[in-house]
Structure 1
Amino acid sequence: MRKGAALCAALTMLAALFGTATAVAEAGGPFLPALPCDILVDAGHGGIDSGSVVEGLEEKHINLALALELGERLRARGYRVVLTRTSDRALSDDVPGTGRGRHARDLLQRKRLADALRPLVFVSLHANWAKDPAKRGGEVLHPANGQSLFLATLLQEALNRHYGLKRHPVPARSYFLLNTVRCPVVIVEAGYLSHPDDRQRLASPADRARLADALADAIHQFLLVFPNVRPRHRDG
Structure 2
Amino acid sequence: MRGLRRLLFPLLALVFAGSAAEARNFRTVVIDPGHGGHDKGGQWGLVYEKHLALDIATRLESEVKKRGFRTVMTRRSDYFISLPERVRIASRYSDAIFVSVHTNYTWRQDASGLETFFHSGQSRPLASYVHSGMMSKVRAVNRGVKSARFYVIRNTTCPSILVECGFVSNPSERERMKSAWFRQALAEGIAEGILRFRRAG
Is the shorter-chain TM-score for this pair beyond 0.5, marking a shared fold?
yes
What code does the residue aligned with 2:56 have? Answer: L
Percent of pairs identical after alignment?
31
- Alignment partners' CA distance in 1, 2:32 and 2:198: 18
Q: Is the 8 A contact 1:129 1:192 kept in 2?
A: yes
What does residue range 2-151 of structure 1 map to in structure 2 within 5 Å?
A: 38-91=28-81, 106-145=82-121, 147-151=122-126
Query: In 2 relative to 1, CA 119–41 (structure 1 residues): closer, same or farther, beyond 3 Å?
Result: farther
Cα distance, 1:219 vs. partner?
Answer: 0.6
Structure 2 unaligned residues grouped into runs of 5+: 1-25
- Alignment partners' CA distance in 1, 2:52 and 2:196: 25
Query: In 2 relative to 1, CA 164–47 (structure 1 residues): closer, same or farther, beyond 3 Å?
Result: closer
**Partner residue, 2:185:** 210
Once the two structures are superposed, what CA deviation does each residue of 1:24-55 show, in whole Å capped at 9, x if it has no partner?
xxxxxxxxxxxx96100000101111111102
**Partner residue, 1:200:** 175
Cα distance, 1:119 vs. partner?
Answer: 4.4
Looking at both structures, which has the greater relative contact order when contacts are Cα pairs under 8 Å and sequence separation is at least 6? Answer: 2
What code does the residue aligned with 2:99 have? Answer: V
Instruction: Give TM-score scaled by structure 1 length.
Output: 0.70
Structure 1 unaligned residues grouped into runs of 5+: 1-35, 92-105, 227-236
- Alignment partners' CA distance in 2, 1:134 and 1:160: 19
Q: Is the 8 A contact 2:134 2:185 kept in 1?
A: no
- Alignment partners' CA distance in 2, 1:206 and 1:168: 22
Q: CA RMSD in A?
A: 1.5
Instruction: Give TM-score scaled by structure 2 length.
Output: 0.82
More strand by share: 2
- Alignment partners' CA distance in 1, 2:95 and 2:74: 12
**Partner residue, 1:23:** none
Does 1:176 pair with 2:151? yes
- Alignment partners' CA distance in 2, 1:118 and 1:202: 33
Cα distance, 1:121 vs. partner?
Answer: 0.9
**Partner residue, 1:163:** 139
- Alignment partners' CA distance in 1, 2:134 and 2:48: 21
Once the two structures are superposed, what CA deviation does each residue of 1:156-209 show, in whole Å capped at 9, x if it has no partner?
223333234343201113x21222101100000111001112111211111111
Query: In 2 relative to 1, CA 121–74 (structure 1 residues): closer, same or farther, beyond 3 Å?
Result: same
Deviation larger for 117-126 or 161-170: 161-170
Once the two structures are superposed, what CA deviation does each residue of 1:34-89 show, in whole Å capped at 9, x if it has no partner?
xx961000001011111111021011000000000000011111110011111111
- The count of residues paired between Structure 1 and Structure 2 equals 175
